[in-house]
Amino acid sequence: MPAPHRHQGNGTLLPGAGTSVPGRTSDNCVEPVQTVAGRTHCLIEHNHERNIQKLVKLKRYGSNPILSADSARDWEANHVSNSAAVVKDGKVHLFYRAEGRDTRNSSQAWFVSRIGHAVSSDGFTIDCRYPEPALDILGEELPFTDGVEDPRIVEIDGVYHMVYCTTSVYPERLAWATSKDLITFDKHGILMPDYSQRTAGLLPERIDGEYVLFHRILPHLWISRSRDMKEWHSSQVLVHSRQGHWTESKMGIGATPIKTEQA
Backbone phi, psi, residue 124, to 5°: -120, -45
- For residue 74, the SS3 value is helix
Percent of the chain whose pLDDT exceeds 70: 81
* pLDDT over 60 (residue 10): no
CB 167 within 8 A of CB 146: yes
- Mean pLDDT (whole number) for 143-161: 96
User: Residue 23's pLDDT is what?
Assistant: 65
* pLDDT over 50 (residue 26): yes
User: Residue 44's pLDDT is what?
Assistant: 32
**pLDDT grade for 58, boundaries at 50, 70 and 90:** confident
Q: What is the pLDDT of residues 178-196, one digit of tens each?
A: 999 999 999 999 999 999 9
User: Residue 248's pLDDT is what?
Assistant: 87
- Confidence (pTM): 0.82
Cα–Cα distance measured from residue 177 to residue 186, given in angstroms and rounded to the nearest whole number:
5
User: Residue 258's pLDDT is what?
Assistant: 84
User: Residue 87's pLDDT is what?
Assistant: 96
The top-scoring range by mean pLDDT among 16-20, 22-26, 62-66, 246-250 is 62-66
* pLDDT over 80 (residue 156): yes
- Mean pLDDT (whole number) for 230-248: 92
Residue 139, judged by CB atoms within 10 A of its CB (0-12, 13-18, 19+), counts as buried
User: Residue 32's pLDDT is what?
Assistant: 62
Q: Does domain 39-207 have CATH number 2.115.10.20?
A: yes
Domain boundary assignment for the chain: 39-207
